[in-house]
Structure 1
Amino acid sequence: MAYRNKIALVYLLGFALDLVNMFAAAIAYPAISQELQASVTQLAWVGNAYMLGLTLIILPSVWLAAVFGEKRLIMASLLMFSVASWCVAQSATIEALIGWRLLQGLAGGLLIPVGQALVYRHFPVRERARLTSVILLVALLVPALSPAVGGWVVQAGSWRWLFYANLPLALLALLLAACWLASHPRPASRPALSYQSVAVGALNMARLLKSPLLRVAMLTYLFIPGIFIGTQLVSILYLHQLGLSPAQTGALMLPWALASALGISLSRYQFNRLGPKPLLVLGMTAQALGIGLLTRIDAPDTWLPIALYGLMGFGGSLCSSTAQNTAFIDITPEHMGHASALWNINRQLSFLLGPALMMALYGTLTAITSTPHAFALCFAIGCALTLVPLVPVLRLDTSRVLALLAP
């Protein structure tokens, strides 16, 4: 197996671990609440603590990689993740569980930016579309499957086994990292971590934003996935009002997932030939149409919800895949660490701000107008926000991008 493929496999295992712990833990909330006497607020922090850890560690990850080396840091983070998972499963109180979830998030947060920088540095520009499609297929399948598998684990055993189940995957990734990743000598002089070094890291990230490709990719990712997640939360309320059962609403993620796979495949096979502009325009248009037409659903037993969720899945994943391909095209290997950290900060912001914005918007609109008008206005605004990156996307220089992609 080629060295770059070995790196990619280690990264994908770490990425899958991160996604499982983001999406599967919520299945265990009722059981955790019952056994540990946890309030609703405390249960929310079971997820929030993990997300907080993921976000806080991103900026220092560049410095830590420079000091300890990427292999040592990835191995240390996998070991820390394993220990934290064991301790979460052993928690006797909700406070202890939340604390160990924070440590779990810190460990998982190191895996993603450091592993992503390492793997993208070793893949030639023209082969990154294939790499990105595999990464996003993992990002598609794990959230789709982990709640169902997690529910079966909790029902068959205990919520604690949901976290014990992390250990085989984490230890496998640790073993492969130890065997496969190349070691590099420790630097002769270690950069000291200080407010100044953090400021320098932030400045280096800001300088990377001079790249129009990275700027457009980040703007696209900030709006498209986040707005879809927020719209989905509002649409659940809307579909419930129309009479769809929870099972029927949940089943709509199946056409979303199938259409998402189609969007990812289109980006994989056409990115090097067409460049990002036509793919991003097509993706934004599809997601905007899907969101904008949600209020046309007037009965629970029509084909329209399936079609609209398919449109949103195709458009959103086409944009996400194309944006990630675009982000690192003109980033030099020595700046890949900072670019990866910046990308992942932006990714976290998208997932946090999009849902918060759409739910706050819906709450505000219901206070000033009738419920049907609130849904209609909310979806119209979501449609408009999806198209925010359109102007900078249209200004992209396709000939320059294709030249960078040339072998």
Structure 2
Amino acid sequence: MTSQAEAAPAKLDAAVLKIAGVVVLGAIMSILDITVVSVALPKFQETFNATYAEVAWTMTGYTLALATVIPLTGWAADRFGTKRLYMTALLLFTIGSLLCSTADSIGQLVGYRVLQGLGGGMLMPLGMTIMTRAAGPDRIGRLMAVLGIPMLLGPIGGPILGGWLIDVASWHWIFLINLPIGAIALVYAWWALAKDSPEPSESFDFLGMLMLSPGLASFLYGVSSIPGEGTVTATKVWLPMLAGVLLVVAFILYSFKPKHPLLDLRLLRNRNLTVATVTLAVFTIAFMGAGLLFPSYFLQVRGESTLHAGLLMAPQGIGAMVTMPIAGMLADKVPVGRTVPFALLLIAAGFFTFTQVGTDTSYVLLCGSLFVMGLGMGGTMMPIMTSALKTLTNQEVARGSTLLNILQQIAGSVGTALMSVILTNQLNESAVIPGFKNPADGSAVTEAGAAIAAQQNPAIAQQLPPDLLQRGLQFVADSFATTFWVGFGLTLLTLIPAFFLPRRRQASQLTEADAAATPVIMH
């Protein structure tokens, strides 16, 4: 073992960096796409005359597609080869981006986002597989530092890029921008990646996938339909929710029978993995769900342009950039149970400010709070995932990382649906303006709806009394504050499982011989 370590280069050499360029380019496309679209949600509402719950499906559908394809990736990489599959994923993502730019209804856009997500979901786990094989086990730490670049750039660059493209061109360009990047990445991958040598692989659990993926989609569709129907007793709500729950329960009961199930729930017998999974799931529901509402507040309540909304979100990414490398070093030296709770308290402290937002809350206070939340973010997610995987055996790491990542994607989808339902329900309680009808469909117009429209269209503001618009705007701000209270409460709830994270140093079960062949999935 010592000789292997000594033989390995101390730094990432040119050959590894050449391959790293391919992986980083793909990761930037995938991660930027999520954050770019987040600032475009209000624009989708305006363009397609849709509710917030409906446009949130552009995020939910994408993350559901990620959750569907992540467990398939390991099997397919062995079956077809990493180079071939990686280029296929790039092609799917790029074609999906092109189709998204042509959508003329919210239904089409959601469908094309699902196709885009099928490609995007494979990029990160495949990239990690390619890189770990190229760098070897002795350089995984330096490798993670390289792949951390797109994770840091996404929260900073995504909202700014999305806002700028929408302001200077149109929303179509947040998807069209992926075309030249995708073309370059395809040529680069063809040149830089080694020729495939596929090997026989374990069977894929198609039956499990046919139960879990439709079950989740059906359940979330029912949840997202609540605001539009106004009641959980509507057939459009309870029927898909019930069907989804039955399919997911059937999958859970079934998953203990196959040798290689889609999600290996037997791994949850490992206490550290279970605690980390619960912590990560609750945190993701809270933060991913509410995180989509931050730019919407700046757009709909404060009347900012999409570019300014993106710039106002930058402090969060800068905060994560400060603490992520520090947290990475500490994770190898200090038990995560001693650091993660403090990081969560930082997130909660920043979150609390948003529970108090009004129509004129100080930007200095809001941006400072986002920075504090970013500091906490950088010290939360990667240490939790490291803790989960550290005590698994060589054979369990790939399945454990798959379980963590797919549950993280599911939690993100649940959080998005939950927060959009709460916000939409709050906004629907606003008073109706007598005598005013929506010109698009003849429906009644609420004070909150008029105030949101007036923030983006001065002509509407001139048609209504100032006191009515101010009352409507205050109602919108209060609705956001109420929704942020839910996210704040869920963040505090995350502290409960976090206190059960390991408080003593853990010995890694992963040997050098298997580390190079084991994909550590990160998204």
Fold-level match, TM-score > 0.5? yes
Equivalent residue for 1:285? 345
In the alignment, which of 498, 502, 520 is matched to residue 390 of structure 1? 498
Equivalent residue for 2:251? none
Structure 2 CA distance for partners of 1:125 and 1:397, relative to 1, 3 Å: farther
By how many angstroms is 1:126 displaced?
A: 6.8
Structure 2 CA distance for partners of 1:47 and 1:38, relative to 1, 3 Å: farther
CA distance in 2, matches of 1:218, 1:325: 11
Letter in 2 for 1:18: S
Structure 2 CA distance for partners of 1:27 and 1:55, relative to 1, 3 Å: same
CA distance in 2, matches of 1:356, 1:111: 25
CA distance in 2, matches of 1:303, 1:138: 27
Equivalent residue for 1:104? 116
Which one is further off, 86-95 or 142-151? 86-95
Equivalent residue for 1:347? 408
Equivalent residue for 2:232? none
Which one is further off, 342-351 or 230-239? 230-239
By how many angstroms is 1:261 displaced?
A: 1.3
Equivalent residue for 2:32? 20
Which one is further off, 375-384 or 264-273? 375-384
By how many angstroms is 1:319 displaced?
A: 0.7
Q: Is the Cα–Cα contact under 8 Å of residues 113 and 340 in structure 1 kept in the other structure? A: no
CA distance in 2, matches of 1:275, 1:256: 25
Equivalent residue for 1:142? 154
Equivalent residue for 2:319? 259
By how many angstroms is 1:246 displaced?
A: 4.5
CA distance in 2, matches of 1:249, 1:313: 16
- Please give the residue correspondences for 1:8-407 in structure 2 after superposition, counting only pairs within 5 Å: 8-25=20-37, 39-40=50-51, 43-90=55-102, 96-120=108-132, 127-187=139-199, 191=203, 194-195=206-207, 199-202=258-261, 205-232=264-291, 246=304, 252-292=312-352, 300-301=361-362, 304-331=365-392, 335-357=396-418, 378=486, 381-393=489-501, 395-400=502-507
CA offsets 1:107-138 (integer angstroms, 9 cap, x no match) = 11122233234434655667545444544442
CA distance in 2, matches of 1:98, 1:376: 26
Q: Is the Cα–Cα contact under 8 Å of residues 394 and 510 in structure 2 kept in the other structure? A: no
Q: Is the Cα–Cα contact under 8 Å of residues 75 and 178 in structure 1 kept in the other structure? A: yes
By how many angstroms is 1:310 displaced?
A: 2.7
Unmatched runs of 5 consecutive residues or more in structure 1? none
By how many angstroms is 1:43 displaced?
A: 4.4
CA distance in 2, matches of 1:306, 1:30: 21
Q: Is the Cα–Cα contact under 8 Å of residues 283 and 315 in structure 1 kept in the other structure? A: yes
Q: Is the Cα–Cα contact under 8 Å of residues 113 and 344 in structure 1 kept in the other structure? A: no
By how many angstroms is 1:205 displaced?
A: 2.7
Structure 2 CA distance for partners of 1:13 and 1:327, relative to 1, 3 Å: farther
Q: Is the Cα–Cα contact under 8 Å of residues 130 and 268 in structure 1 kept in the other structure? A: no
CA offsets 1:197-240 (integer angstroms, 9 cap, x no match) = 98443377324444444434433322334323444567789999
CA distance in 2, matches of 1:279, 1:186: 42
Q: Percent identity of the aligned residues? A: 26
Q: Is the Cα–Cα contact under 8 Å of residues 32 and 154 in structure 2 kept in the other structure? A: yes
If you compute each CA radius of gyration, which structure gives the higher value, 1 or 2?
A: 2
CA distance in 1, matches of 2:336, 2:394: 21
Letter in 2 for 1:205: D
Structure 2 CA distance for partners of 1:115 and 1:377, relative to 1, 3 Å: closer
CA distance in 2, matches of 1:201, 1:7: 30
CA offsets 1:11-50 (integer angstroms, 9 cap, x no match) = 3222211123223235556777787x66447644444433
Q: Is the Cα–Cα contact under 8 Å of residues 362 and 378 in structure 1 kept in the other structure? A: no
Q: Is the Cα–Cα contact under 8 Å of residues 287 and 386 in structure 1 kept in the other structure? A: no
Structure 2 CA distance for partners of 1:231 and 1:271, relative to 1, 3 Å: same
Letter in 1 for 2:77: A
Q: Is the Cα–Cα contact under 8 Å of residues 353 and 366 in structure 2 kept in the other structure? A: no
CA offsets 1:154-212 (integer angstroms, 9 cap, x no match) = 44444444333212222232233323333343335884764279844337732444444
Structure 2 CA distance for partners of 1:57 and 1:233, relative to 1, 3 Å: closer
CA distance in 1, matches of 2:312, 2:177: 28
Structure 2 CA distance for partners of 1:362 and 1:277, relative to 1, 3 Å: same
Which one is further off, 110-119 or 10-19? 110-119
Where 1:24 maps in the other structure, the secondary structure is: helix
CA distance in 2, matches of 1:70, 1:167: 22
By how many angstroms is 1:8 displaced?
A: 3.6
TM-score (structure 2 length as normaliser): 0.62
Q: Is the Cα–Cα contact under 8 Å of residues 64 and 409 in structure 2 kept in the other structure? A: no
Structure 2 CA distance for partners of 1:305 and 1:89, relative to 1, 3 Å: closer
Letter in 2 for 1:53: A
Structure 2 CA distance for partners of 1:177 and 1:214, relative to 1, 3 Å: farther
Q: Is the Cα–Cα contact under 8 Å of residues 290 and 484 in structure 2 kept in the other structure? A: no
Letter in 1 for 2:385: Q
CA distance in 2, matches of 1:311, 1:39: 33
Answer 1 or 2: which has greater helix percent.
1
